[in-house]
Structure 1
Amino acid sequence: MSYDRSVSAEQHALEPETVWHLQMPQIRFGRDAVEELGFQLGDLGVDEGAHGLVVTDENLAGIGHVDRVTDHLEDAGYDATVWKDVEREPSLEVVGECISFVRENEGEDGYDFYLGFGGGSCIDVAKTTRAVIANGGEALDYIAEPTGSGDALTESGPPLVLMPTTAGTGAEISPVAILSVEEQEIKEGISSNHIRADAAVLDPTFTTTLPPETTAKTAMDALGHAIEGYTTHPFDGLLRATDPQERPVYAGRTELTEMFSEKAIDLLSTNVRTAVHNGDDIEARAGMLKGALFGAIAGLTAGASLCHAMAYPVGNRYHTYHGETIAVLTPASTLGYNAASDPERFAEVSRLLGADTEGMGAREAADLAREEYVRLQRDLNVIPSGLNELAGITEDDIDWLASQTVETQQRLLRCNPRPVTEADATEIFRDALYNWE
């Protein structure tokens, strides 16, 4: 039995999972952690004099952050080439350009090490480039059928270090790289432990230059990871694979991921207002980056679910920011439709978000989570009020979005605590058009 079967399989066919697995990069966290970048590479076995590639974008190069990174690399005895052509919500074409750059400059063996520096887009391009160079071919070869060939990654390649400059995506520890397939208006993931980084260096001083809107958008993605990871299926409520290699990287929640989720929701919800309205507050910035890390450990191990599944068709068709899309979809999906799956658990989410649930029954308390989340968004004053304000989405667009969600995002819907039909998705998208007036 493989994971092709859903959790709604007939009872006689259901064999629950009995084993959970956690794999993480080395994690180095703290103010001025960039100063230990040379030590981190050495700890991964990268010799002095090695030649590496820094994958980043024009904005980070323009404000001097990239120079700060390359200066530390040079001081530690490393040679670094910078590729700064990453775009937001990167496409297969952009990844292909980075892979071609590597092959043209270093041949099929590529660089001695790779460093992804920036938001989730920069990090996912770095992850994919390193993996494809190590395994051969092109990125499309490793995207699941029918979009790609569905080939398995078998090699990790030279050391990869990831340095996030936003507190949100969790891409620095994720075993998935998300890419746009523009001609099909979809997003697809390359999912494998071989795409995961060897180390993540998280330095909150790089996040103080984030403008309020970007701070809020990325925070909502991080909060989405934490809440979705906290409310997804328990690992032993999913099906057991006959071969451990078939166990997916999104494998259900455990007691360990629940602890990270709880702390992440607390850190993010208590620090985001300060970080948005006073971006120079380094303590709030550190709390946000730590919350995003914890949320990713939880959500990207246990598994993102319905909200992320709905967000990918929206983002690919309308070119919206991922975190902003998560923000407008979470009230109707995770905190609306899914709340009926486990009222006690969602009541705890309400409490973690700061709601006073004293004297309430579980179902009533669970409904407060949506209310508290929307209050938080409105306090930030930079989040759209729904899909309509986000991208002009109307009733006429919903059928296509619902069908794309159900047809292309089963990898994520498999983890959702409630089964989702196309009719369900249609109603949830309709609910998400307006979160407040």
Structure 2
Amino acid sequence: MTGNYDRTISAADHGLGPETVWEIQLPAIRFGRNAVEELDFQLAELGVDDGASGLIITDEPMVQTGHVDRVTDHLEDAGFDVTVWDGAEPEPSIETVDSCLEFVRENEGAEGYDFYLGMGGGSSLDVAKGTRAVMANGGEVLDYVAEPTGAGETLTESGDPLVLVPTTAGTGSEISPVAIYAVEEKEIKEGISSNHVRADAAVLDPTLTTTMPASVTAATGMDALAHALEGYTTHDHDSFLRPEDPAQRPVYAGQTDVTEMFGRRAIELVANNIRTAVHNGEDVEARAAMLKASLFGAICGLTAGVSLSHAMAYPVGNQYHTSHGETIAVLTPASTLGYNVASDPERFAEIATLLGADVEGMSTREAADEARREYVRLQQDLNVLPSGLAELAGISADEIDWLATQTVETQQRLLRCNPRPVTEEDALQVFHDALHNWE
């Protein structure tokens, strides 16, 4: 048995023993070219009757691509009454979800719509998840955000059916039990974490991802890779404490054989396909491979748990309003593939091979360190990502003290998943190391 229980989970009662049970929960998953044309069938499988009213939650750019019209036309031809709300925004705030809730209540009252469909990148999907959850349980978003920011109430109902249709390949929000929102007045991000947040179904259609620009393809793809890398290197599930009540088991619950299998395959898929997807966006085979990598990476990382690079990314995003994918991309070399390598060099040596590095003749530790160099070479090949925090947002060494403090003080939910303990001094050094990944 491995792990320090004082470090991996905060718990006053240390009479608890190591975890002995793991579980995995996923939505119904429909994957493939033109899978979106089976949405009517998917809704019927969820018990939604012909003539039911539904709300598509998305953003204006997605409407402009024509993808939303494709979905509304299909559903209306199948007999559903569909309304579109396109007010989602990148890195959505609590107020964004409040606006969507107000729209629902004004149009359909307290009962809401018969079904909800989130369509777009992770931001739109998270707005859809929060809207459906609050409509089902009542109140406001902050009621279900952890204290001290919110009231810390527990979700008890999942609500009317929710189907998520991602049009990017990376966030994993379509299967995740977590929805993340900016709390603008506090300059932090908070999440609602519950299996009642998780969608009932996810429809993944690579033909919807071909309109992604190269920069978005790269950023979301590196987010998918980070999910796989972090989930593949976090603690084993039996390194955590077993809760007295199974309902209190955290949604990020550690590595299992299942998460390892999906994580390993996700790393390979990204390494072998992201260059083509970025430089030749019309290649549907590469797009399908990246969408599959996103799914597999999410099954790994959003079940086992993401860790240091995500913990560091949230303060950066809050302070500098950077995109999540780009932020993760510039932090991963110094954090997951730098600071964390000492936790298990053999595993990181395997990651180097999965990324495509030639490690023949190297020692285990030399091969482990090669994972970072191979990752940076991949980013350089994509030629659309910033080279570090300095290029990402003009961040200088004088500004990282606050970021390190925020990481340690506000992100313990993720740091408990990190394979090495992280002090404020450690976080400061990693931030400094991430200012420049290459010159």
Secondary structure of the residue aligned to 2:181 is strand
Report the equivalent of 2:35.
33
Report the equivalent of 1:82.
84
Secondary structure of the residue aligned to 2:47 is coil
Q: Does 1:151 align with 2:153?
A: yes
Contact map agreement 2:9 2:416 (CA 8 A) in 1: no
Secondary structure of the residue aligned to 2:117 is strand
What RMSD, in angstroms, separates the aligned Cα atoms of the two structures? Answer: 1.5
- Residues 84-118 of structure 1: CA deviation (Å, up to 9, x unaligned): 01110000111100001001110111000000000
Q: Does 1:44 align with 2:46?
A: yes
In the aligned structure 2, how far is the partner of 1:249 from the partner of 1:187?
A: 18
Secondary structure of the residue aligned to 1:107 is helix
- Residues 217-261 of structure 1: CA deviation (Å, up to 9, x unaligned): 000100000000000001011111111011000000101100000
- Residues 140-198 of structure 1: CA deviation (Å, up to 9, x unaligned): 11010111111000000000000000000000000000000011111011000000000
Q: Does 1:252 align with 2:254?
A: yes
Q: State how many pairs are aligned.
A: 435
Q: Does 1:161 align with 2:163?
A: yes
Secondary structure of the residue aligned to 2:163 is strand
| Distance apart, 1:6 and its partner CA | 3.2
Report the equivalent of 2:292.
290
Report the equivalent of 1:425.
427
In the aligned structure 2, how far is the partner of 1:396 from the partner of 1:133?
A: 44
**TM superposition score normalised by structure 1:** 0.98
In the aligned structure 2, how far is the partner of 1:4 from the partner of 1:100?
A: 43
**TM superposition score normalised by structure 2:** 0.97
Report the equivalent of 1:301.
303
AA aligned to 1:407 is E
The gaps in structure 1 that reach 5 residues or longer are none
Report the equivalent of 1:7.
8
Secondary structure of the residue aligned to 1:149 is coil
Aligned partner of 2:275 among 258, 273, 276 = 273
Aligned partner of 1:215 among 206, 214, 217 = 217
| Distance apart, 1:9 and its partner CA | 8.1
Q: Does 1:140 align with 2:142?
A: yes
In the aligned structure 1, how far is the partner of 2:275 from the partner of 2:148?
A: 42
- CA 1:8–1:246: 2 relative to 1, 3 Å: closer
- CA 1:95–1:8: 2 relative to 1, 3 Å: closer
In the aligned structure 2, how far is the partner of 1:7 from the partner of 1:120?
A: 28
Secondary structure of the residue aligned to 1:125 is helix
Q: Which runs of 4+ in 1 moved over 6 A?
A: none
Secondary structure of the residue aligned to 2:7 is coil
Aligned partner of 2:22 among 20, 23, 28 = 20
Secondary structure of the residue aligned to 1:309 is helix
| Distance apart, 1:269 and its partner CA | 1.1
| Distance apart, 1:4 and its partner CA | 9.7
Report the equivalent of 2:363.
361
Secondary structure of the residue aligned to 1:162 is strand
| Distance apart, 1:14 and its partner CA | 6.5
Greater CA deviation, 348-357 or 191-200? 348-357
- CA 1:9–1:309: 2 relative to 1, 3 Å: closer
The equivalences for 1:409-420 within 5 A come to 409-420=411-422
Secondary structure of the residue aligned to 2:157 is coil
The equivalences for 1:208-247 within 5 A come to 208-247=210-249
Aligned partner of 2:392 among 380, 390, 404 = 390
In the aligned structure 1, how far is the partner of 2:29 from the partner of 2:9?
A: 37
Contact map agreement 2:125 2:173 (CA 8 A) in 1: yes
Report the equivalent of 2:437.
435
In the aligned structure 2, how far is the partner of 1:120 from the partner of 1:5?
A: 33
Identity of aligned residues (%): 73
